[in-house]
Structure 1
Amino acid sequence: MHATWLTALIAAETVHSLATPPLGYDRRLLREVFDKRSSNESQSSCFTAAAPSTVAPKANPWAPLTPDESLSVWNLLHDAISGLNLTYPTEAKLTDNYVFWVDALHTNKSNVLPYIDGDAPFPSKYARAIIFEGGKADPDSQEYMIGPLPVSEETKIEKLDYIYNGPSGGSVPYNARYFDGPRNTATEPLIVSIMSNISDITAAMFQGGVYYGSKDNRTNLSLTSGTPQSFDGTTAFRNIMFRFPGPASYMTPLDFFLLIDCTGTDASLYSLKGFVTNEKFYPTIADLRTAFEAGEIAMEYDQTKDADWALVDYKPELGVRDLEERLAPSTLELGGKRYKLDKENQYVEYMGFSFYVSFSRTLGLMFYDIKFKGERIMYELSMQEATAQYGGNQPKAANTVYHDTYYQLGTEMGSLVEGFDCPWGSTFWNITYPSYNTTRVNTNSICIFEADMNFPLSRHRTSSSNKFGFSNFGTVKGAALIVRAIATVGNYDYMFDYSFHMDGSIEVIVRASGYLQSSFYFPEQGKFGPRIQQATQGSLHDHIITYKADFDILDSTNSLQVSELKAVNQTQPWFPELGTFEQMEMEVYNMKEEAQFNYAANNQAMFVVLNPNATNIWGEKRGYRIVPGRSDIHLSTLNSPWSLKNSEFAKSHLAVTCQHDNEPFANSVQNINLPFTPQQDFSKFFDGENIDGEDLVLWFNLGMHHFTRSEDVPVTLYTEAYSSIVFAPQNFFDRAQDGDLRNRRWIQVDSEGTLTFEDYGIGLDTCPIVLEEPTALLGGVGTL
Structure 2
Amino acid sequence: MLFSIFISLVLSSSVQSAAFPPLGYERRLLKAAFDKRGYNASEPSCFTDAAPTTAAPRTNVWAGISSEDNLAVWNLLHDPASGLNLTYPDDAVLTDNYVFWIDALHTNKSAVLPYIDGNATAPAKYARAIIFEGGKTEPDSQEYMIGPLPVSAETTIEKLDYIYNGGSGGSVPYNARYFDSKRTAATEPLLASIMGNISDITSALFQGGVYFGSSDERTNLVSTSGTPLSFDGTTSWRNIMFRFPGSESRSASYMTPLDFFLLMDCTGTDASKYYLKGFVTGEKYYTSIEELRAAFEAGTLAQEYDQTLDSAWALVDYKPELGVRDLEERLAPSTLEIGGKRYRVDSKEKYVEYMNWSFYVSYSRTLGMMLYDIKYKGERILYELSMQEATAQYGGNQPKAANTVYHDTYYSLGTDYGTLVEGFDCPWGSTFWNVSYYSNNETVTNVDSICIFETDMNFPLSRHRAAGSNDYGFVNLGTVKGAALIVRAIATIGNYDYMFDYSFHMDGSLEVIVRASGYLQSSFYYPDQGKWGPRIQQATQGSLHDHIITFKGDFDIISSANSLEVSELKAVNQSQAWFPELGEFEQIELDTYAMEKEQQFNWAANNQAMYTIVNPNATNAWGEKRGYRIVPGRSNIHLSTLNSPWSNKQSEFSKSHLAVTVQHDTEPYCNSVQNINLPNKPQQDFAKFFDDESVEDADLVLWFNLGMHHFTRAEDVPVTLYTEAYSSIVFAPQNFFDRAQDGDLLNRRWIEVDEEGELTYETYGVGLESCVGTFEEPVEHIGGIVEE
**What's the secondary structure of 1:344's corresponding residue?**
coil
Aligned-residue sequence identity (percent) comes to: 77
Confirm or deny: 8 A CA contact 1:9 1:768 kept in the other structure.
Answer: no
Q: How does 1:73-112 map to 2 (within 5 A)?
A: 73-112=73-112
Alignment partners' CA distance in 2, 1:8 and 1:426:
14
Q: Structure 1 residue 476 and structure 2 residue 480: aligned? A: yes
Distance 1:86 1:389 in 2: 36
Contact 2:567–2:610 at 8 Å: present in 1 too?
yes
Summarize the Cα distance change of 1:456–1:755 in structure 2 as closer, same or farther, 3 Å threshold. Answer: same
Whole-angstrom distance in 1 between the partners of 2:43 and 2:641: 58
Deviates more, 1:575-584 or 1:379-388: 575-584
User: Equivalent residue of 2:7, what SS?
Assistant: strand
**1:161 to partner: Cα distance:** 0.2
Aligned partner of 1:499 among 500, 503, 507: 503
1:431 corresponds in structure 2 to 435
Instruction: Say which SS state the counterpart of residue 292 (structure 2) adopts.
Output: helix
Offset of residue 465 of structure 1: 3.9
Q: CA deviation at 1:8?
A: 3.4
Q: Comparing 71-80 with 720-729, which one deviates more in the overlay?
A: 71-80
Aligned to 2:706: 702
CA offsets 1:652-706 (integer angstroms, 9 cap, x no match): 0000000000000000000000000000000000000001000000000000000
Mean CA deviation greater in 574-583 or 495-504? 574-583
1:347-371 deviation per Cα after TM superposition (whole angstroms, max 9, x unaligned): 0000000000000100000000000
Counterpart contact for 1:626–1:725, Cα < 8 Å = yes
Distance 1:70 1:280, change over 3 A: same
Aligned twin of 2:121: 121
What are the ranges of 5 or more consecutive residues in structure 1 without an aligned counterpart? 11-41, 771-784
- The two structures have a TM-score, normalised by structure 2, of 0.92
Unaligned runs of at least 5 residues, structure 2: 12-41, 775-788
- Residue range with higher mean Cα deviation, 529-538 or 75-84: 75-84
Aligned to 2:214: 214
Say which is worse superposed, 728-737 or 84-93, in terms of deviation.
Answer: 84-93
Distance in 1 (CA, whole Å) between partners of 2:375 and 2:6 is 39
| 1:312-343 deviations in Å (ceiling 9; x for gaps) | 00000000000000000000001110000001
SS in 2 for 1:765: coil
Q: What amino acid maps onto 2:245 in structure 1? A: P
- Structure 2: distance between partners of 1:46 and 1:54: 21
Deviates more, 1:431-440 or 1:592-601: 431-440
Question: Paired residue for 2:245?
Answer: 245
SS at match of 1:53: coil
Amino acid at match of 1:183: R
Work out whether 1:763 is the aligned partner of 2:764. Answer: no
Contact 1:45 1:765 in 2 (8 A): no
Q: Is 1:391–1:541's contact at 8 Å kept on the other side of the alignment?
A: yes
Q: Are 1:610 and 2:611 matched, yes or no?
A: no
SS at match of 1:142: strand
Provide the C-alpha distance between the structure 1 equivalents of 2:704 and 2:670, rounded to a whole number of angstroms.
Answer: 11
**1:232 match:** 232
Matches within 5 A, 1:306-385: 306-385=310-389
Give the drift of 1:467: 4.8
Instruction: Quote the offset at 1:154 in angstroms.
Output: 0.2
Structure 1 residue 48 displacement after superposition? 5.3
Question: Paired residue for 2:630, among 626, 639, 660?
Answer: 626
* Helix, strand or coil at the partner of 1:526: helix
Q: Is 1:155 the equivalent of 2:155? A: yes
Which residue number corresponds to residue 715 of structure 2?
Answer: 711
Name the SS of the counterpart of 2:581 in structure 1.
Answer: coil
Match of 1:596 among 600, 605, 625: 600
Amino acid at match of 2:307: Q
1:561 aligned residue: 565
- What is the aligned partner in structure 1 of residue 46 from structure 2? 46
CA positional deviation for 1:47: 2.4
Q: Quick check: 2:9–2:336 contact (8 Å CA) kept in 1?
A: no
- Alignment partner, residue 8 of structure 2: 7
Tell me which amino acid in the other structure corresponds to 1:408.
S
Q: Which residue of 2 aligns with 1:282?
A: 286
Look up the equivalent residue of 1:73 and give its one-letter code.
V
Q: 1:633: Cα distance to partner?
A: 0.2
Question: Which residue does 1:452 correspond to in 2?
Answer: 456
Give the whole-Å Cα distance in 1 for the aligned partners of 2:650 and 2:509.
Answer: 33
Give the equivalent residue in structure 1 for 2:515: 511
In structure 1, C-alpha distance between the alignment counterparts of 2:292 and 2:768, rounded to whole Å: 73
SS at match of 1:7: helix
Is the 1:196–1:211 contact (alpha carbons within 8 Å) kept by the matching residues of 2?
yes
Is it true that 1:62 corresponds to 2:62 in the alignment?
yes
Question: Is contact 2:142-2:171 (8 Å) kept?
Answer: yes
C-alpha distance in structure 1 between counterparts of 2:64 and 2:768, whole Å: 40
C-alpha distance in structure 1 between counterparts of 2:9 and 2:598, whole Å: 54
**Equivalent pair of 2:9/2:46 in contact (CA under 8 Å):** no
Deviation for aligned residue 1:267: 0.1
| One-letter amino acid of the counterpart of residue 659, structure 2 | A
Normalising by structure 1, what TM-score? Answer: 0.93
Deviation at residue 576 of structure 1 after TM alignment = 1.3
Aligned mates of 1:300, 1:230 — CA distance in 2 = 33
Corresponding residue of 2:786: none
Matched, 1:268 2:262: no
Match for residue 446 of structure 2? Answer: 442
Q: Which amino acid is 1:539 matched to?
A: S
Aligned residue number for residue 590 of structure 2 = 586
Conserved? CA contact 1:387–1:403, under 8 Å: yes
- After superposition, residues 738-749 of structure 1 pair within 5 angstroms as 738-749=742-753
1:31 paired residue number: none
Mapped to 1, the partners of 2:7 and 2:569 lie a distance apart of 52
Identify the structure with bigger relative contact order (alpha carbons < 8 Å, sequence gap 6+): 1
- Paired AA for residue 96 in structure 1: D
The Cα of 1:43 is off from its aligned counterpart by 5.0
Greater Cα shift, 634-643 or 459-468: 459-468
Q: Match of 1:392?
A: 396
1:380-439, Cα deviation, whole Å (9 max, x unpaired): 000000000000000000000000000000000010000000000000000011111011
After superposition, the Cα gap between the structure-2 partners of 1:48 and 1:423, relative to the gap in structure 1 and judged at 3 Å, is farther
Q: 1:613 to 1:5 in 2, by over 3 A?
A: closer
